[in-house]
Chains A and B, each alone.
Chain A
Amino acid sequence: MRAFLKKEWMEWVRTGRFFLVLLIFALFGIMNPAIAKLTPWMMEALSDSLAKTGIVTTEVTVDAFTSWTQFYKNIPMGAIVFVLLGSGIFPQEYQKGTLIPVVTRGLSRKKIAAAKSLMLLFIWTLSYLLCFGITYGYNAYFWDNGIAKSLFFAGFACWLFGIWLVALLVFFSAVSANSPQALLGTGGIVAACYLLGMIPRVSRYLPTKLLEGMPLLQGISEPGDYSACLAAALGMSLVCLGLAAVCFERRRL
């Protein structure tokens, strides 16, 4: 399996996807505090023209919350980019038949699926840490992160959302013939969760709730309120990865 992990790593690096995903997450990480920092300046610059249209701007105060609000707005975008870049990991190999020499050489299919999943988990974790770390650092420098409650728990929940996404992506790309199908499957489940989230009674069980970090930071919600969706995300991830292994084992290459 080490050989296949090395190959996956080489693929991410040499095709440029690894640096692309890091670059994008780093940019998001910088943008969050930057937008917060620029907001008062922009409001001031625009206040004259806004006054003419009848909108009166008052002085805006920004703090770490403003920046973290941006963070939770931007993370779904980052996740979409990540899913787009990762959606080809299985289908590309099916289409080209590059797994045949590997399988006929005796590497078990479970190990192939495990190596691919591990690489996705690693890259998600790394990119997420980069984005979170940059935002955290700038926030600490400009303002004070101390006003945010449960900051790291909220960060962990958001990371787990990515893990759930990776599990969905692994399952759908293991069973799909091409990457659009994999994207459709993954996107479909996430969209369905968002729609179901409109029903208040159901929303607390949905993994998409993990992205709602601001109520935690503001102290409106407690970590305990997230236990149901944490468990759901974990359970679904395990089921997806298990199913992916089973389907991949039976799949015609």
Chain B
Amino acid sequence: MEMLTLSHVAKSFGSKQVLRDVSFSVPEHTVFGFVGQNGAGKTTAMKLILGLLDADGGEISVNGRPVRYGNTPTNQYVGYLPDVPEFYDYMTPEEYLCFCGEIAGMPKGERKSRSRELLRLVGLEQDNRRIKGFSRGMKQRLGIAQALFCRPRLLICDEPTSALDPVGRRELLDILVNVKEQTTVLFSTHILSDVEHICDEIAFLHEGNIVLQGPLEKVRRKRRDTGVELELARTEEVKFLLSEFPFLELSGSNRILLKEAKKLPDVLRLIADRNLAILRLERQEAALEDLFLEVVGK
């Protein structure tokens, strides 16, 4: 079942058309990567899904129900982590989470136990001081706890990793993967390695349109050629291969790159005939980054 559907959504601010015609859908229990350059309109799209902005055209539905501007009832299914989460500085993390639970109408006992459980999940259970002294990474983790508090069916994260150090990023990505069982995750980013680590499906947003979308594997396969890299043990054998096949390229010490994969059998035949010692033969994965650069036309 589709947890989130956008069809032909458009939005402009004054004369600036931010989203032209955006359509995509997010199946249940997937981690969906929403990729785009800075300023591509990712945050705008997310705010439209949350009913915080009024769309100029198109339809958005969450869990089968339409989103409308203002107080949208679909927000009961959604947990949201803004790009720079801000809290009431004078509260402690537990007080803040209990406040969120109370607003959502959760009974008192459950609020307490749920906030402890989530603070443990994000590793903040020891920090009982006020939020005022929190670092950016700690705020981000508290933001995740806050977003997950009411067991949302859809978790929306706006560039959750962009301001974190490598350790913080890894931890946050792990949290996102872990919650996949309970919820559906839509997260926006321009960091492609994050997408490769955790996403099942992706959509590329460029100049207000979705230029590429689908399951990660399928999108990767769209790239025309994937080369093969060979690593040999001896330098003279590398030289021999290069002289036999002019289409091969040296890509490092004792490493050869074959760009046209269909010529691989010829190369392998020669290697077998001459009994050359290969250390490694690897099909090169299409880097998402190349694909991204390709679709944005750079």
Contacts and interface: CB of A to CB of B under 8 A. Distances in A.
A106 B52 contact: no
B52 A7 contact: no
Given A11-B88, A96-B86, A103-B52, A249 B70 contact: yes
Residue with the greatest number of chain B CB neighbours at <10 A, chosen from A4, A97, A106, A252: A106
Contacts of B84: 97
A104 B76 CA distance: 8
Nearest to B50: A104
Contacts of A107: 103
Contacts of A101: 80, 82, 85, 100, 146-147
B91 A97 contact: no
Contact of A4 (B71, B90, B91, B103): B103
A98 B76 contact: no
Contact of B52 (A6, A11, A15, A100): A100
B42 to A, nearest CB: 16
Contacts of B73: 106
B104 A105 contact: yes
Interface string B35-71: 0000000000000001111000000000000000011
Residue with the greatest number of chain A CB neighbours at <10 A, chosen from B70, B84, B90: B90
Nearest to A7: B99
Contact of A106 (B53, B75, B85, B146): B75
B289 interface: no
B104 A98 contact: no
Interface string B75-107: 110101010111110110001000110111000
A15 B70 contact: no
A98 B50 contact: no
A105 B87 contact: no
A131 to B, nearest CB: 26
Nearest to A1: B103
A84 interface: no
Nearest to B83: A97
B61 to A, nearest CB: 16
B102 A2 contact: yes
Interface in B253-284: none
A105 B103 contact: yes
Nearest to A97: B86
Interface in A1-31: 2-4, 6-7, 10-11, 14-15
A3 B101 CA distance: 9
B86 A105 contact: no
Residue with the greatest number of chain A CB neighbours at <10 A, chosen from B71, B84, B103, B104: B103
A54 B235 CA distance: 113
B185 interface: no
Contacts of B104: 105-106
Contacts of B150: 105
A109 B90 contact: no
A252 B50 CA distance: 12
B226 to A, nearest CB: 42
A253 interface: yes
Contact of B82 (A6, A15, A100, A249): A100
B134 to A, nearest CB: 14
A106 B103 contact: yes
A121 to B, nearest CB: 21
A147 interface: no
A20 to B, nearest CB: 15
A106 B71 contact: yes
Contact of A97 (B75, B82, B100, B147): B82
B99 A3 contact: yes
B157 to A, nearest CB: 13
A102 interface: yes
20 contacts: A3-B99, A4-B103, A6-B99, A7-B88, A7-B91, A7-B99, A10-B88, A11-B88, A97-B82, A102-B103, A103-B52, A104-B52, A104-B78, A105-B75, A105-B100, A106-B71, A106-B73, A108-B71, A252-B52, A252-B53
Given A97-B82, A106-B103, 9 more contacts: A7-B88, A7-B91, A10-B88, A10-B91, A98-B87, A98-B88, A106-B76, A107-B103, A109-B71
